[in-house]
Chains A and B, each alone.
Chain A
Amino acid sequence: MSLDTATVRRIASLARIRLEEEEVGRMQAELNGILGWIEQLQAVPTEGVEPMAGGAPVSSDAGMRMRADEVTDGGMPEKVLANAPDRMGDYFGVPKVVE
Chain B
Amino acid sequence: MHPTDFSLRGALDALAEGIISSEELTRAHLDAIGRLNPRINAYVTVMAEQALAAARASDERRRQGIVGPLEGLPLAIKDLFCTDGVPTTAGSRILGNFVPPYESTVTANLLRDGAVFLGKVNMDEFAMGSSNTTSAFGPVENPWSRANDPDARLVPGGSSGGSAAAVAARLALGATATDTGGSIRQPAAFCGIAGIKPTYGRCSRFGIVAFASSLDQAGPVARTVEDCAILLRSMAGFDPKDATSADLPVPDFAAACTRGVKGLRIGVPKEYRLDGMPAEIEALWQQGLEWLRAEGAETVEISLPHTKYALPTYYIVAPAEASSNLARYDGVRFGLRVAEGASDLRDLYERTRAAGFGAEVKRRIMIGTYVLSAGYYDAYYLKAQKVRTLIRRDFDEAWRKVDAIVTPATPSAAFGMDEKQDDPVTMYLNDVFTVTANLAGLPGLAVPAGLDRQGLPLGLQVIGRAFDEETVFAVGAAIERAADFRAVPGLRAGA
Contacts and interface: CB of A to CB of B under 8 A. Distances in A.
A94 B345 contact: yes
B50 interface: no
A17 B383 contact: no
A56 B442 CA distance: 11
A90 B200 CA distance: 38
B101 interface: yes
Given A16-B346, A92-B332, A95-B345, A49 B390 contact: yes
Contact of A33 (B313, B349, B384, B425): B425
Contacts of B339: 86, 95
Contacts of B466: 55
Interface centre among B316, B334, B466 (most CB of A within 10 A): B334
Contacts of B316: 38, 41
A65 B388 CA distance: 21
Nearest to A81: B333
B306 A44 contact: yes
B441 A27 contact: no
Interface in B62-108: 96-99, 101-102
Nearest to A12: B366
B334 A52 contact: no
A65 B243 CA distance: 5
A82 B199 CA distance: 35
A41 B381 CA distance: 11
Contacts of B423: 33
A83 B334 contact: yes
B199 A16 contact: no
A41 B201 contact: no
Interface in B318-374: 323, 327, 330-337, 339, 342, 344-351, 353-354, 357, 362-363, 365-367, 369-370, 373
B386 interface: yes
Nearest to B356: A17
B349 A16 contact: yes
Nearest to B246: A55
B388 A51 contact: yes
B206 interface: no
Contact of A14 (B96, B214, B336, B373): B373
Contacts of A95: 339, 342, 344-345, 348
Interface string A1-37: 0010001100111111111100000010011011101
Contact of B337 (A12, A33, A34, A85): A85
A50 interface: yes
A71 interface: no
A49 B323 CA distance: 25
Nearest to B317: A53
Most buried by B among A27, A51, A76: A51
A13 B349 CA distance: 10
A50 B436 CA distance: 18
Contacts of A67: 240, 243
B373 A34 contact: no
A52 B312 contact: no
B98 A14 contact: no
Contact of A44 (B382, B385, B390): B390
A51 B382 contact: yes
Interface in A54-70: 54-58, 63-67
B92 to A, nearest CB: 14
Contacts of B313: 41
A33 B99 contact: no
B150 interface: no
A35 B366 CA distance: 11
Nearest to B341: A18
Given A11-B369, A19-B354, A55-B200, A27 B315 contact: no
Interface of A: 3, 7-8, 11-20, 27, 30-31, 33-35, 37-42, 44, 46, 49-58, 63-67, 76, 79-80, 82-86, 92, 94-95, 97
7 contacts: A35-B367, A42-B379, A54-B201, A55-B440, A55-B442, A76-B101, A83-B335
Interface of B: 96-99, 101-102, 199-201, 213-215, 240, 243-244, 247, 306, 309, 312-313, 315-316, 323, 327, 330-337, 339, 342, 344-351, 353-354, 357, 362-363, 365-367, 369-370, 373, 379-380, 382-390, 392, 423-425, 440-442, 466
Q: Nearest 3 A-B pairs (CB), nearest first?
A: A55-B441, A51-B385, A83-B334
